[in-house]
Structure 1
Amino acid sequence: MKRKVALACVAAASAVALGVAGTAAAHSAGNKDYDGFIKQSHRQPKNVILFIGDGMGTQEITAARYYQGVANKLNVDRMPFTGFDTTWSVKPNAAEPYLPDYDPDSASTGTMWATGQKTIDERISQGPSSALNVPGANLTTVLELAQRRGMKVGDVSTAEITDATPAVLASHISLRGCQGPADMANCALETKAAGGLGSIAEQEIDHKIDVMLGGGRNRFAQTIPGGPDAGKTLVQVAQERGYQYVTDAAGLAGVADSKKPVLGLFAGGNMSLEWSGPTAALGKGNTPVACTEDVRPANEPSLADLTGKAISLLENKKGFFLQVEGASIDKQDHATNACGQLGETVAFDRAIGVALDYQRTHPDTLIVVTADHSHTSQIVSEDASGSGLPTGYSTNVVTKDGQTLTLTYGTAGFGGAGAAPVTAPASQQHTGAVVPVWAIGPRGLGVLGTNDHTDLFHVLLG
């Protein structure tokens, strides 16, 4: 599917209709800030901000919305253009045709919006091939195109900055696990010693990304084994190339020089969670409790802080491209940690709010929000009857409305002939449903309707 002439015609017709009905709806909803957004929608954006809620399918965003109180709207609900994207990846094969894989991972889906191409799971901005251990062709990314246009570029994540979603922008490698120079055993043909581009971390430094903020300090502390930088850590190499290096919230706040690149690594692995609470239990779950909020250590910046700082450092006359990932929505979905998942979704939405505030005074900025793939959590009925429903791993949380919200996880743990284990397995699985897409600003109309994640590449930079 391509967002080309047909979509342009539909979008134009929609714009006419929305110019009346949509503006009226915006007034009735109190969204007067966005009067005239149709007029702006066909222009080329100067700045592009892409938000990725990892694993944030319709159930996850709805759960966060409900937890905050049904009368309240999230920041993402202020965005006027909405649609859905399919996210299927492809299976390995020696040549076309590549058959669809309906339940993708973050590497293949990230490659879709980053390059406009389908690939196999585990692969980072390379095309498909006959097997995981056979590298594919390197694919040009949206970040690389932005750099060619003279734009500044940024990559922000609450995961390790070498994790799959941030990695797709500035690295090309056959396996997502090859994150640092000490992690290359399964990518031996792609090491710098073998004539390749090196690990994900090495490639990110080599790409001279203007702003990189997230976790993953341990990857950059690894020593490079060979070549001109042998014996040095990646942090040392980055600093030699002019990077300002910070490791905590105070250090980030103190960065004032926007002419030099910034590397901020705020945790050894993934960054800390915002909320905590009980993990899911088989059957009806726990006695309902409110989540414990604000548990993130004070020395770690929030995703909203990271977003605001990145925007301020990237702003320039030629424009910028910035990707921001709320990574642990997915990670806590895997872990059946409802409060962790909810807190990360709310924190992600706060970061969106920071960007929307910027967009109000910079209407030449396109903001797109989406997920890489759907996930396992489901909103189900509370087990008030005592009948044993639901049958998955469940958590009951008390919302801001004082009501019980039950989230159930059931995509792992029921294999074999025996009964399901009382304790949930270590990792639930993704699901293959379409993901929501929201947009505001120039070219935001491009997300309307049902499309594919590869089409998003064409919306981002035109």
Structure 2
Amino acid sequence: MRTSARRITLASALVGTLVLGAASSYAVTSGLTGTGDATRHDGDQTRQVRSEIRQGPARNVILLIGDGMGDSEITIARNYQYGAAGELPGIDALPLTGQYTTYALDPSNGLPDYVTDSAASGTGWATGTKTYNGAISVDLDGNSHATILELAKKAGLRTGNVSTAEIQDATPAVLMSHVATRGCKSPSGMDACEAQKIENGGPGSITEQTLATRPDVVLGGGARYFAETATAGEYAGMTLMDQATERGFNVVTDAAALESVQAADQDAPLLGVFAPSHLPTVWNGPLATPTGGSEPAVTCEENPAHTADIPTVEAMTTKAIDVLDDRHARKGFFLQVEGASIDKQDHAANPCAQLGENVDFDHAVRAAMDFAERDGNTLVVVSADHGHTSQIVYPGITTPGLTRTLTTADGQPMTIAYGTAAQGHSQTHTGTQVRIAGYGPGAANVVGLTDQTDLFFTMKNALGLDKKHGHGWWPWGR
């Protein structure tokens, strides 16, 4: 087991010196102008940055994770939608930024594994603990560690978890469950998780643990796992969806039903499951190919599979905030939101679907920021779990890998290259550090270079939570 060595609480005076100097420098070098509505600031931002170095507790924390959203993916989305001199209204609006490292651990020796997956990286910010790829909130020895959602719930805060993936996927799963490997999503998939099987005295699959953890709001895909039948325990012989109803969840399955949920009347936990697997992407377009870069530039199109029945990540985020903030508002809440298919479409070398998910995720960030600016006591953090492979290369060229040229908001060609796998195979993650940005009380702790595990302590300290339970802790009272 290894936890972060940098459990940081930055002194405001020190941060002020560092950040204000950086802000002044940025004001001099960023006087860009553009023809679109969204353009970068061209004045001195010192006052704005100074106002954001706020210490003290936060009532709420909203963490937004763009899966696979490295700096290159952010730049691709910005260039395409708003132009090179534009800005993403959500992601680029957070005033304090830094970078964090993302490595996992090699289970054979405990040394760094330089390229992480979403399970190990999510475990890092969810528990403050480094672990091996595939692990869901357990350490190298298989011990469970309390997650930020579980600690918030234990302290009486409201809790929520939103994803455009299956809610059993790694990033949402790390908050609500503890299993040896990320594939243990349902009763039929537990072969690699013997210790967690209910029949062996464990808590069950990721889906079963989600119901037991009982967040106030869970929204995403993954309906196919709820159709399975429990094989052991109190609910043996009952489907997991029937179990959810039996346990008092308010289940909704389409965008209209989600919209109709009235926050003031929402006493039961809200479970929204909107697709059998991951939610469809909002945009689509031609894949990158060995010759795609030299072919005529294309424009992305809406994906007809993303019908009106499927809520956007912005709609899910807005509803989650409404529900979590409406009741027991004095106690506050913790909410995680994932834009999952930035990563999944990067794997597929589908630049239009990838950047469309990034733009859509940015709308969710803007919704969170709008709430935080009104509320005044909310910490918003935006980051990624790891980098990915897409890169901007010279327009119109091909590479030894796969390419595709798009026409951007500037009316210019932009060629995207994928070079970590052959055509028809999954592109891979990269081990680069990635952006982290913050707004609100405690946001100064994202400045500089930190590690994913530090984010757990930033959020825990902001909410005033005390990690009293760690090694060997089980939320179900085992």
Q: Distance in 2 between matches of 1:364 and 1:270?
A: 33
Which position in structure 1 is the counterpart of 2:205? 199
Once the two structures are superposed, residues 368-420 of structure 1 have per-residue CA deviations (whole angstroms, 9 ceiling, x without a partner) of: 00000000101001236xxxx4221011111121111111101112xxxxxxx
Determine if the alignment matches structure 1 residue 77 to structure 2 residue 92.
yes
Q: Distance in 1 between matches of 2:312 and 2:193?
A: 33
Determine if the alignment matches structure 1 residue 399 to structure 2 residue 412.
no
Q: Distance in 2 between matches of 1:264 and 1:157?
A: 10
After superposition, where does 1:108-127 map in structure 2 within 5 Å?
A: 108-127=120-139
When residues 457 and 52 of structure 1 are mapped into structure 2, their CA distance, relative to the original with a 3 A threshold, is: same
Does the CA contact (< 8 Å) of 2:52 and 2:96 recur in 1? Answer: no
Q: Distance in 2 between matches of 1:20 and 1:407?
A: 33
Which position in structure 1 is the counterpart of 2:273? 265
Determine if the alignment matches structure 1 residue 340 to structure 2 residue 353.
yes
Determine if the alignment matches structure 1 residue 311 to structure 2 residue 321.
yes
Q: Distance in 2 between matches of 1:303 and 1:122?
A: 25
- Among all aligned residue pairs of Structure 1 and Structure 2, give the percentage whose two residues are the same amino acid: 45
Which of the residues 188, 199, 212 maps onto 2:194?
A: 188
Does the CA contact (< 8 Å) of 2:52 and 2:439 recur in 1? Answer: no
Which position in structure 2 is the counterpart of 1:425? 424
After superposition, where does 1:19-34 map in structure 2 within 5 Å?
A: 29=42
Once the two structures are superposed, residues 168-220 of structure 1 have per-residue CA deviations (whole angstroms, 9 ceiling, x without a partner) of: 00100001000011211221231111001110010011001100000001111
Once the two structures are superposed, residues 325-369 of structure 1 have per-residue CA deviations (whole angstroms, 9 ceiling, x without a partner) of: 000000000000000101000000011011111111111100000
Tell me which amino acid in the other structure corresponds to 2:274. Answer: F
Which position in structure 2 is the counterpart of 1:128? 140
Q: Residue 227 of structure 1: CA displacement?
A: 1.4
Which of the residues 143, 150, 157 maps onto 2:156?
A: 150
Once the two structures are superposed, residues 36-91 of structure 1 have per-residue CA deviations (whole angstroms, 9 ceiling, x without a partner) of: 86366212110000000000001101100100122321021111000001101001
SS at match of 1:155: strand
CA RMSD of aligned residues (A): 2.3
SS at match of 2:200: coil
Which position in structure 2 is the counterpart of 1:301? 311
Once the two structures are superposed, residues 264-310 of structure 1 have per-residue CA deviations (whole angstroms, 9 ceiling, x without a partner) of: 00000000111010001114533211000354211100000000000
Tell me which amino acid in the other structure corresponds to 1:55. Answer: G
Q: Distance in 2 between matches of 1:30 and 1:242?
A: 53
**TM-score normalised to the size of structure 1?**
0.90
Once the two structures are superposed, residues 217-265 of structure 1 have per-residue CA deviations (whole angstroms, 9 ceiling, x without a partner) of: 1111111011110111111111112110000001101111222210000
Q: Residue 14 of structure 1: CA displacement?
A: 3.4
Does the CA contact (< 8 Å) of 2:9 and 2:458 recur in 1? Answer: no
Which position in structure 2 is the counterpart of 1:436? 435
**TM-score normalised to the size of structure 2?**
0.87
Q: Distance in 2 between matches of 1:309 and 1:168?
A: 22
When residues 89 and 277 of structure 1 are mapped into structure 2, their CA distance, relative to the original with a 3 A threshold, is: same
When residues 212 and 31 of structure 1 are mapped into structure 2, their CA distance, relative to the original with a 3 A threshold, is: farther
Which of the residues 367, 372, 377 maps onto 1:364?
A: 377
Which position in structure 1 is the counterpart of 2:296? 287
Tell me which amino acid in the other structure corresponds to 1:433. Answer: T
Does the CA contact (< 8 Å) of 2:124 and 2:456 recur in 1? Answer: yes
After superposition, where does 1:239-258 map in structure 2 within 5 Å?
A: 239-256=245-262, 257-258=265-266
Which ranges of 4 or more aligned residues in structure 1 deviate by more than 4 Å?
Answer: 5-9, 15-32, 34-37
Which position in structure 2 is the counterpart of 1:55? 68
Q: Distance in 2 between matches of 1:19 and 1:379?
A: 27
When residues 29 and 148 of structure 1 are mapped into structure 2, their CA distance, relative to the original with a 3 A threshold, is: farther
SS at match of 1:372: coil
Give the unaligned 5+ runs of structure 2: 32-39, 462-478
After superposition, where does 1:380-419 map in structure 2 within 5 Å?
A: 380-383=393-396, 389-413=398-422
Tell me which amino acid in the other structure corresponds to 1:228. Answer: E
Aligned residues: 438
Does the CA contact (< 8 Å) of 1:225 and 1:231 recur in 2? Answer: yes
When residues 240 and 71 of structure 1 are mapped into structure 2, their CA distance, relative to the original with a 3 A threshold, is: same
SS at match of 1:306: helix
Give the unaligned 5+ runs of structure 1: 130-135, 414-423
Q: Distance in 1 between matches of 2:57 and 2:27?
A: 22
